Amino acid sequence: MESLLSSWYATEGRDLPWRRTNDPYAILVSELMLQQTQVERVVPRYIAWLERWPTAEALAAAPPGDAIREWQGLGYNRRALNLHRAAREVADAGWPEDLTELPGVGPYTAAAIRCFAYGENVLPVDVNVARVLRRTGHSFSATSAQALMDLGATFCVARTPRCERCPLASLCPSRGVREHPVRKQGPFEGSFRQRRAETLRLVSGSSHALAALDEEAVRSLERDGLVAVRAGVVALPD
């Protein structure tokens, strides 16, 4: 089964910029950006980010507010703050042996860095990979990681798997089986998440008086370290 997947990926795999590097910092940037964000949206932002801050040291030297401002539009803005904090730790002390010690780096992101940057035989299992593993009942090596991600994102999708086009269909015990959709997050429109996002967008443009903003959203952002409130004025952190 793994050889079938490998042959398919050799001709059909997606050409993504983070697949052309083994720099752990670049891999970290891509993995944090890709969390809950579509690949198509991430590609141009990833390229722009690395053009501005090509190394962990370059990002660490910048104010955290600049990282937050550059992140605008990707959502889940704490990822920007975690990335900046991680860059500062790497710049100060190097890459830790246990990568989960870095801010924002959980077991999956640590596995991705170990696999894609260091070439270790560790399979990073995201939701797409987990779905393919579950449906095929097969164990794959780390060399198939990118292929598994592509297969799960294109053919072995959650609601309507495209089994007729899947390279593994002839050997897959779940061929033609559909799964119940996972409950989605509530709508963004009108949510507190939208209020936070709008407030942060305003503050990213320029500092504002607290009285002119949504105070509940400001206090939530302040608790996350995404804004600072001083003398009644709300700004990005220095």
Helix H or strand E segment including 234: strand 233-235
| 128 token code pair | 């797409």
pLDDT for the residue numbered 75: 86
Q: Is the pLDDT of residue 125 over 70?
A: yes
Q: Is the pLDDT of residue 146 over 90?
A: yes
Render pLDDT for 179-236 as a digit per residue (tens, 0 to 9).
765 666 678 788 898 899 899 999 999 999 999 999 999 999 999 999 999 999 999 9
| Cα radius of gyration (the chain) | 20
pLDDT for the residue numbered 188: 79
- In 3-state terms, what secondary structure has residue 155? coil
Beta bridge partners of 228: 235
How much is the mean pLDDT over the chain? Answer: 93
Q: Which amino acid is at 58?
A: A
Catalytic residue IDs: 31
pTM of the model: 0.88
CB neighbour burial string for 36-60, b if at least 16 within 10 angstroms, e if fewer? ebebeebbebbeebbeebeebeebb
Question: Where do the domains of the chain lie, and which CATH numbers do they carry?
Answer: 23-116 (1.10.340.30), 192-235 (no CATH)
What mean pLDDT do residues 132-155 have? Answer: 95
Give the residue from 7, 73, 88, 3 showing the smallest Cα distance to 42.
73
pLDDT for the residue numbered 142: 96
